[in-house]
Amino acid sequence: MNPMVLKPGLGKASGKPSFKPQNTPNAPMLLLIALMACLIGGLTLYMSKDKPSPVIEEGGEKKLAPWRQEKLDKELEQLDNAEVYVLLAREPGKFPCYHCPERNFEIFLNLGEAWRYGVTTQSEAGRYPMGLPVEGLTYRVLFRGPLQECLKQEKLYIYNYALLPENLKRNPPLIRPPGNKRDN
């Protein structure tokens, strides 16, 4: 519904002021249009900024720009220096279980029992910059090596969790650690 503004005028017969309705633009709609225009303008400006070329020419030879070469070197180094880790219960207590509906999605873990296995190329500080996902856990590295080998080791840990004594005492045993949502 369009808001109406009454505009003073003179009545036909009486000569007294009368008020005629006059349509005005919808203020929220104008604000939305203005915001959209600013957004489109900002995106256009951002996209048109000069980006440094990923290629430079040095001595007649083309090669990667230093910033691009550094990024490549860092990523290759990370691929060669991954780690498999386990998050263990630092203290006995209840922890989230992502596949335990019969236990209200919680499970009791004793000190030192595995909650999650994972792989990272960034160490604990890079993988969990805001701290571990659940209070009461500790991070322990199990294996270091190339990423491909770490991924294999992680699979072995996750699948073989079903055979651990801490898991076999449960009825029924879990298919994977409580903190692993999937097999990877």
Q: What is the pLDDT of residues 164-177, one digit of tens each?
A: 999 999 989 999 99
In a domain, 106, yes or no: yes
**Apex CA 135: angle with CA 133 and CA 138, to 5°?**
80
Domains: count for the chain: 1
In a domain, 121, yes or no: yes
In a domain, 140, yes or no: yes
pLDDT at 122 over 80: yes
In a domain, 179, yes or no: no
What is the domain range of residue 108?
79-168
Higher pLDDT, 136 or 184: 136
pLDDT at 19 over 90: no
Arithmetic mean of pLDDT, 154-172 = 96
In a domain, 174, yes or no: no
Task: Say what the pLDDT of residue 147 is.
Answer: 96
DSSP 8-state code for residue 101? G
In a domain, 53, yes or no: no
Rounded to whole angstroms, the Cα distance separating 103 from 70 reads: 49
Of all residues in the chain, the percent with pLDDT exceeding 70 is 80
pLDDT at 5 over 60: no
In a domain, 139, yes or no: yes
Q: Estimate to the nearest angstrom the gap between the alpha carbon of 74 and the chain centroid.
A: 22
In a domain, 115, yes or no: yes
